[in-house]
Structure 1
């Protein structure tokens, strides 16, 4: 059996920017002294005149991006998720969201898979924060293919976009010939009848692994990949929930305000369904190897499998 290809979505982000730079001459990239880590250094090498290092001044960087957008540029402001969504929240809300400017936020190093950087840098609240900003599109790609597609879609979309990328390498799962990306659309990766697992980001591969384990025990799990958390593919989620009758959400993010909350909002209004939210359970992360942290907090394949099994057994 051949080894599954793995790549960190932050790598995909940098590569996508560099690949699209020639096609979109108005594309400019800003970074806050983290180009090597966010991988915007790849774009910087290809288009040095269109890369601006703003220094350790994330709030100011957002303001510069806002200004550039008003003269026809398509700015990507890039830094760690903790700083993009946390430190610069006021500027993102008031300078980008309120005037609905065409600025894209490339937020890398999200979630506990930042690993040894510890709780201060492991942003598990960014999706919740960005969802609250009117008109903000929020995307959390599951792999290399989806991350590159999301960057292109963000460029082609008119308005603010928040893109969430990870530090840890994750399996490539969207490399099929029929793959098609569209903002606001989810994808059924596996058909099922007993339970629906709705996952985003690195937890999509965990959900697929969990589904395989469940299948060995005669449980048919439907797996849905949700890259765009806002706007959410409500039609797809409602249809699957009506079919299976039980839903589990899986995300490398707090269970408060993230994918799980978005799914519950939809189902409570249109198709009341029991839902279990797998994610960070109102706790901060801690320092440690990325995969060990996923395992500890039940976000790996085995953890999602155990949560689903417990849920459907009740």
Structure 2
């Protein structure tokens, strides 16, 4: 018996990294799995291949599970709608979608090509919209469904050189929140995970010095994709039915629950504010409560457990 017995799950980006581990674990936990992967390069610039998705689906089948493959792009709505229909036709239903599919096109914002901005937004943010919109009516009708979408500390906290990725991943947070709010009465859940894991996306980040090299080596050993998959699969299970609208991170054997934006300081002035009074009074008074502009590593400066 597994926590996903009788469930049908779509896993995007399932040919490599976190998606691969999510698909394999979902299969071991009893789910029938549609493994989706474009089979393209890290930047999403090539035509892709059906091989990676089918390789993972075959591993699930060889282990006694049920799996099929799909190599369409999550950035295309009609393709995602067809993917959902494929899962329902093959397995008789659809109960959860895990969506870690992604690409990277890093670069300093003042040098960023508009095409690189659009490509990342299309896969990450539009991709998250596509998988939720294409399935949300089905989930609402059956009054059951779970989305596990993927955000990043690049969006929640920030990282230099990733404006496109950060904007998309913070957008995923807003999307998930509304899907969770609107789905509450229909038992449709949505949660997001910010993963720390050694994947080809992380491997693409340049190593500039010995300290960075040492940190990368620790990441390889201490932050694995299979550790992220444990939470992703758990959030699809009926046992997590009371968990929705939340932001998690997985870092090695650590699981974090993030807070969400709420006011931290307020000031009022009976006669109203002017630019001068804001500069002289409000901003200095609020300064102690500002959030610094440190990157993700400044929030997680220690080795994973």
Structure (1/2) with the larger strand percentage: 1
User: TM-score, structure 1 length as denominator?
Assistant: 0.42
Larger Rg: 2
Higher helix share: 2
